[in-house]
Structure 1
Amino acid sequence: MEESKKILEGFIPVAKSNAKMFGPNCEVVIHDLTHPQNSVMFTVNNHVTGREVGQSFDHLVKTVLQAEDFKEDYLASYTSTTEDGRTICSSTSLIRDSGKKVIGAYCVNFDVEALSQMQKFMDNFLPAQAEPRVEEAKTDDDVENVEEIVDQLIQQIIKNSVHPAMKRHEKVELIRFMDEKGIFLMKGSVEKIASLLGISKVTVYSYLDEIKNK
């Protein structure tokens, strides 16, 4: 069993413990980022968001890594809305191996819809002025950390997909996957992907245009 798999499987008891402690509204998902295209390796209480083993990550790049508050490999208490309108409060922590390479993500998703409704009810009786929040700017180290994580994701995605007889439509679908996951939001991603695929930047942009036009 490879090291990364052993490390990630070591978090399964923690996931079960967290889910049991906080009840059925608490979902825990463990991602294996050495297999980005089907990164979900374990879920508990997955009725909260419907995450299934074998699916890919969704919010990691677009929401977590892009957030101003993402520091020290984690982002806590960010919210999203499900397709049926429920509010989900989430936290994501990255998992690294002994060589400090990012190999996974530990995600906790809590359905706070009932709490939100209760808070709205209480706010009608106990209005309060919220203290203004002061956000700290990302440091150069924070920016470099995010860039390194996305670089690893790009390399792993392409490593898992590229083969000598790769057809044009397969490359287009690979670009589509990375576009959907927010990879192209990162500066320099086009150049890196073009180099790893052995194609020009112009070709990558033409694939992106083709995807958007469809």
Structure 2
Amino acid sequence: MCRDLPRPIDIPVKQTVPFHQQFVNESHQIVSYYRPLFPPCLSPSKVLYLNGYHHSHPQEQTTMKKDEMFTSLCQIAQMIAETMGPNCETVVHDCEHYENFIAAIYNGHVSGRKKGDVTYVTGETVPEDAFQNIDPGVNYMNCEVVTTHKKTIKSSTIYFKTENYHYGLGINFDITQFAGMKEVLDKLITTNAELAVEIHSRQSINQIMNECLAQMDLPVEKMGKYDRMLVIQMLHERNVFQMQKAVPYVADRLKISRYTIYNYLRELNITP
């Protein structure tokens, strides 16, 4: 027995045969169908010719209805909120009705809002003409928001607009406590230098210091201020004071204080 096909059949015009029939159906639509390409059970009333293609069951091509879209967005919002946990707020905005700005909200404690409120995630009141300025082609992704309660929030909003509806889906993630953790972790994992670099630097400064002292041909114990300043000048010319912890090392080798080293550097107009 022949039965209706389960899905629409799309056949380009160039693949059809020239023989066809046209008629006006009950809805006053001009219908064209090609008899040789459809089984007898597919009656002309189930075939609509639009934009160069055949479409069976044209009512299946309609846009999602407003209530269907709202239900779908609510399901998505709830799924995200439950998956991401209590720090993640999701909200569905009705951008056509001011009094229904927050049409649905999950984990509303993040921003302190509830269904029916007309406030932004920042805590500020939404102006009554706000919807006039919404561009459905512009979405807001991964923006930072600081609320009136001093919370730091990552916020994203995407809009959905057709002739049937205008909705927005927002995600607001409270990162306040994570920002504090980041500061602690940064301090915990920060290092002064790589070990290999530090070892190389120490070996280099040792070698340079020995070479400079050798040029003086005078024991450190017998050096005066002029002699020590001369050594410091030679060390500066070889960029020793650009190395990490150079000042305390030089002070130890010259048997003077760090304070004295800095005084000598100032007298020589050298900035360590």
TM-score scaled by length of structure 2: 0.39
Larger Rg: 2
Greater relative CO (CA pairs within 8 A, separation 6+): 1
TM-score scaled by length of structure 1: 0.48
